[in-house]
Structure 1
Amino acid sequence: MSDPILQVEHLCIDFKTKSGPVRVLNDVSFTLSAGETLGIVGESGCGKSMTSLAVMGLIPKPNGKIVSGRISYRGEDLVQVPEKRMRQIRGGDISMIFQEPMTSLNPVFSIGKQIGEALRLHEDLSGAEIHDRVIDVLARVGIPDPLKRVNDFPHQMSGGMRQRVMIAMALVCKPRIIIADEPTTALDVTVQAQILELILQLQEEENTAVILISHDMGVISQVSDRVLVMYAGRTIEEGDCVSVVQDSAHPYTKGLISCIPDIDRTKDMSLSDRLPIIEGIVPNLKTIGSGCAFAPRCHQADEACKSWETSPVQVAETHLASCRKVVGSDV
């Protein structure tokens, strides 16, 4: 693996509330190398999207604040750079595919104008050159008849086509990093597969690094080189994809993997056995104290887990898990 182009180190984010500050990200760290796909997985509210917004410099202000940590892009700390510099990086060097294209695309502008806006901001091109680049990127993401569709508005396209437009917007400036936040949500299975295949194909062509965010462990396991499992704003397991999926160490990760549909495994089971669940809900971040945040939902937890200071335990050479029950742990 080449040297990382993105390093997130001990990132902590607080939000102001009426009852005081709430820690929404707690000591999150990871690296990303060129051409690599990092999958970030977890339930809603675990901190996946907040992590991506922090990298993009889009944490809602004034309530949200990075209180400690570093986000280093090619040696430059994005936490410290002025907003003018962040605007140059955002969209040019690091782009994001948002979850819902109908709320991310402007309904009153054509898709061609919206894609071209990134080029107008980040590159010194003539109007004709921008038009040609837009047509080219629409063709690359599989939009049929791009010369005609470039003048269409978002409502004139299907959900799958709108998602392809979002990918085109992210790719048009040839960024080094693409963050895909739930890019296949609300799409049917066939279109999901097409969108994921498209992202990986374009990644291979440009050697782009990808952060793929999803609540679906099945999707993450199919396309990621490495996996980061998050829970309640914390990293609880990380490692290469094969190791995390086949030899998961944290009970939460095991629960996510057990929820992946398997026709061969479930065809002879009763309905109740076919649909495994992780009992309970993600805790309210306001009430989390010391100890393992997953302990209230964990069948393996004991009293010591409730007060154990969460820290990563080495499972394998490239595999860490924050669980005191990990086999071989001396905690």
Structure 2
Amino acid sequence: MSQSLEIDLLRSFVAIAETGVLGQAAARIGRTQSALSMQMQRLEAVVEQPLLHRTGRGVTLTAAGERLLVRARELLRKHDETLAELRGEQLSGVLRFSCPDDYAVVFLPYLLRGFASLHPRVQLEVMCAPTPRLRELLTRHAIDLALVSVPGDASGAGIIRHEALVWVAQRGGAAASLDPLPLALGAPDALDHQLPRRALEAAGRAYRLAYASSSLSGLIGMARSGQAVIVLTRTAVPDDLEILSSSHGLPDLPNVGVTLAFDRDEPTALTSAFAAHVRKFLPAARPSR
């Protein structure tokens, strides 16, 4: 007897993949954990292979599960858009979206242009701030969702993309050779401030904080002046600045993960549609400069 991928099963599967916890997934879709487990058994029977690893800390995806997740998100998006079109519905309203400055410079034009072409009646309001400030805004429900940074090895964070942190300075400048190393870093509670300092301290490299600001333009200005070394995501480095390597006596920096955070457990249809758009296109996004 032929079997098919039911939309309800795929929606439950995506909820599990995004939360990593059966209880949270069940709450999101309005089912009990036992009902959700039975759905996953049915789905695994349809595809004839395991999709989930169940551990004491939650649920992770098998290799087959990872492949299905990509297809499931695409199928759900097309299903929901088709149903809305047939019903004569079209997304509209105001969406409040935020992200750090360096993500805005690189990814925003790519993401917003694509979403506007799909949903021309949606008004997007964009605010830029470091990740700690964005989480405060989400807690106050001042924004609907935000693109935020998390440690690159964070489990269960729903990481969409990884970004390399790099040391950056004036091309051919001498700042990297100074002792102590002059640094210009972002907000003190942000990862791009904390991770470089930890790396330098672990390597025994002396440094001094010459400038601290959440302003991307201010940090880039310090680098261009030759007065300090800064830290950026690799994709956000301007062409006139130099990415420093280990030959400059600087330790390697870890990656950060890029993920979405929401102001509520059950996002609106508009917020969910934009989140689905980001998850689909951000992994393949190229710098806009």
TM-score by length of structure 1 reads 0.20
TM-score by length of structure 2 reads 0.22
**Which has the larger helix fraction?**
2
